Structure 1
C-alpha cells in the first residue's frame, strides 16, 4: 500500500510517520511538507514539497501529487491543512480512489476554536471549563463573579500553549487582554499534576477504542506520559467521542476538577502529537485506522502497557543531494 502523510515538518506529521514505522503495515511512505528541511521528509520513501495551506496553489498541488502517486490513504499531519481536506475529502476520494482520514468541517471547526469547544460541550451537557469570549466584557465579568481567580486567557485558535496566560487578579486579567483580540477566558481547572491526553477512534457512529495517558508538559508539548488502564476516564472519553462524532481519531485534553471529573479544554479533530507515544504503549491508532479503511478490519480495544514514556531529543544527517532531490 501507499500512504501519504502531509505536514512532515510538524510534531503531528512526524508522529504519524513514527507510528507507521512502528506498525506491522507493509507500506510505501510518501511525505510532503512546504519546507525541504523538514526531518519527516527523510524518514519516507518519497518526499514532496507543498505550498503552504493558505497558498491558492495548495489545492492544485494536492491534486497533482495524488494523481501522480495514487496513495491508498492520505493522513493529514498539520492543523492548518485540516479545513481544506475536510471540505474536499469526498471529492478527492472520488477523483483519486483514495481514503482521506479527516473529520467533517463541523467537527474540525468545533475543535479548531477553544470557545466553540466549550460551547459544544455545554450544548451536549458535558463537563468543560466555564468560558467567556474576551470581547464580551459582560460575560468575562460574569465569569469572574462565578468562578473567581485564577483564570486562563488563551487564543481561541492556537496550539502548544502559545499566548496562554494564567491570571490571578483583575489587574493581570486586564493586562492579558489589553490590545489583543480573538481570545477566550476560561476557568482554571485542577493543576498540572492532573492533566491528561486521550484518544478515541470513532467509526460508524461508535467509539471503537480509546486510550488515556496522564502527562507532564514542557513548552506546550507532552514530554512525559504515564500509561495505564484508567478505566473510569476511558469511559468518559468514549462518551466525549460519541458526542463529537469525528471520522476516525479525536484527541481530548483535559484536567480533573476537585471531584475527579474530566473537564476538556481542548479537542484535536485528528491524531495528536502524542500518537507515537500511545503506539509505544500498544495503542497504534494509525495502524488501526489504516487497516479499518483499507481492509475493513474491525478495531478491537488493545491492552495498554503500563509505564512511563520519556521523550528525548534525536538527530539525523541528511546528505545535500537528498535535500536537492525533494520535488
Structure 2
C-alpha cells in the first residue's frame, strides 16, 4: 500500500464510526493512512480510538490555536474536519485558524463566514435562505408579538426554540394558547448572550410547524472548488432521540437538488453540510436547519452505499475518484444502537 499520510477529526465525541469509515476509505484507495483524533476530554469515547490521539485545550482557551497549529506542523495532515459546532465557529469566525491551516496545505471543509454565522443563528439563517429563494418557514424573534400572532393565526402548531442553540435546544411544539409560556421557558434555558446580559426574547425564535415529512439531506460540494455541488444524499427520518436522528430510511435525493445547488453556491460550500428539510404532499421541500459538518444523519446514507470519507480523502490527496462514492440504494432502513468502551483506567 502507498503512504496516505494523515487526516484529523476534531471533537469526534461519540462518532467512532467516522474514524472507522475514514480508515476503510484509506484501505479502499490502497493507502496506509492515519486517522488523528483531537479531543479536549481525554476520556471521551473517541479520544483513544484514533490511530493517533491528541488532547487539545478547549477551543476558547488561548492555548488552543498554538496547540492546533503545532499539531498540524508536526503531523502534516492533508485534511482537517470537526464535528463540533462551537469549535467550527472558533475556527472559521472567531479566529483565522481555518485559513492558517489552509495556508499550510490542509483542506478544511466549510462554508463562508456569513453562512457559518447563519448556521449558528436560526433567525439569520432564515434571512439568508429567503435571500437566495430557498423556501424556509417564517422565522421571528420571541419578542415580536405582532408577527407571532400572525403566525399563530395561520398555523395550528408553532415551533419555539433557542435562536443560537445547537441541535434541538429549547425545542417546544405548542398551539397558539401555549406559545407565550413556551417562549418564556425557552428564554429561561437559553444560552447567555456573548455580552453577558440576561437572555431575552431576542434569544428565542418562533416558526410555524411545517406540514409534510422531515428529511435529513447532506449537501456535498467539491473540496477544491467552492460552491461546486457534487452530491445530494437524503434520508427520511423515522425516529428522533435527544435531537438526533435515531432511525431513518435512505431516500431519493431528487426533490432536494434545486435547494442544494442554491445553498452550495451561495455559501461557497466545500465538503459536506447536514440540512433538515420538510417535504410536503406536493413534493415541495423547505429548509429548516443547516449544520456545516457531518451530522448524526450521515450514517443512514453511508450504510445504504454512499462513501463521503472516500471522496474526501481522494480529493485531499489529489486522486481520481469515480461516481460510486455518491451512489446509494433508497429504502434502506437503519437504526442506531448503544455501545460502550473503556476510555481510561485508574482514575
Superposed pair shares fold, TM > 0.5: yes
Whether the aligned pair in 2 keeps the contact of 1:154 and 1:185 (CA below 8 Å) is yes
**Structure-to-structure mapping, 1:260-271, within 5 angstroms:** 260-271=283-294
Task: Kindly indicate whether the alpha-carbon contact (under 8 Å) linking 1:201 and 1:207 is maintained by their aligned counterparts in 2.
Answer: yes
Partner residue, 1:317: 342
Q: Aligned-pair RMSD on alpha carbons? A: 2.2
- 1:6 corresponds in structure 2 to 10
Aligned pair partner of 2:44 in 28, 38, 48: 38
- Say whether residues 1:49 and 2:55 are aligned partners: yes
Q: Aligned ranges for residues 23-172 of structure 1 at < 5 Å?
A: 23=25, 24-25=28-29, 26-86=32-92, 87-94=96-103, 96-145=104-153, 147-170=154-177, 172=178
Deviates more, 1:124-133 or 1:177-186: 177-186
Partners of 1:275 and 1:189 in 2: how far apart?
A: 23
In structure 2, the gaps of 5 or more residues are 188-199
| Aligned partners of 1:292 and 1:299 also within 8 Å | no
Residue 206 (1) aligns with residue 232 (2): no
Distance change (3 Å), C-alpha of 1:187 and 1:299: farther
Q: How far is the alpha carbon of 1:303 from its aligned partner?
A: 2.0
State the alpha-carbon separation in 1 of the partners of residues 111 and 256 from structure 2: 23
3-state SS, counterpart of residue 320 of structure 1: coil
Identify the residue that residue 285 of structure 1 maps to in structure 2. 308
What's the counterpart of residue 183 of structure 1? 204
CA contact under 8 A between 1:201 and 1:210: conserved in structure 2? yes
TM-score of the aligned structures, taking structure 1 as reference length:
0.88
Moved runs in structure 1, 4+ residues, more than 6 A?
A: none
Q: 1:12-40: CA deviations, max 9, x gaps?
A: xx453243134225320111111111111
SS at match of 2:48: helix
**1:31-88 deviation line (CA, Å, top 9, x unaligned):** 1111111111222111111121122221122122222222121111211111232232
RCO (CA 8 Å, sep 6+): is it higher in 1 or 2? 1
Q: How many residues align?
A: 315
**Unmatched 5+ residue regions in structure 1?**
none
Residue 18 and residue 160 in structure 1: after superposition, are their counterparts in 2 closer, same or farther (change >3 A)? farther
With the length of structure 2 as denominator, give the TM-score of the two structures. Answer: 0.83
